[in-house]
Amino acid sequence: MEVKLHRTVLILSLLSFTAFSYAGLERFWKVSKEDDIEQQFNECDHLTKEQQQQLISTYQSIRDEEQQLNLKNRMDWFCQLSNDEQQRMRIAWQNMSTQERNAIKKKLQTTTDLEKRAQIRRDILSKYSLN
């Protein structure tokens, strides 16, 4: 019985060591992540002003391109609606609070099914329209 217990403990020890060594200790060692972040900040400090500006402008252009694409997709969707539906959506949008608008934006961004998006639009129109 004692031999089986020792074997079991030995096997579990080996398996746990293997799991840690395979996954990498940095996943379980919090200090190494903080050191890595600090190292990245230090690397940014060593960049010249021109390199820092180039890095910032590159990030801003990527962010702006994503925002423009997002706006274009929303405008394309809105333009596909009939004039009557567009006007009803404008009225419904004006009757919503900012929190409700943000919640609906998130819901529409996460929904990929066209039928579900249409249902969300119908719900918005029925809840917020004056008609």
pLDDT tens-digit profile of 10-50? 787 766 766 555 555 555 555 555 666 677 667 777 778 88
Give the pLDDT confidence score for residue 99 in this predicted structure.
Answer: 92
Burial class (CB in 10 A: 0-12, 13-18, 19+), 124: buried
Q: HEC string of 65-117?
A: HHHHHHHHHHHHHHHCCCHHHHHHHHHHHHCCCHHHHHHHHHHHHHCCCHHHH
Q: What is the dihedral of CA 118, 123, 129, 131, to 10 degrees?
A: 90
Confidence of residue 55 (pLDDT cuts 50, 70, 90): confident
* pTM: predicted TM-score of the whole model, two decimal places: 0.45
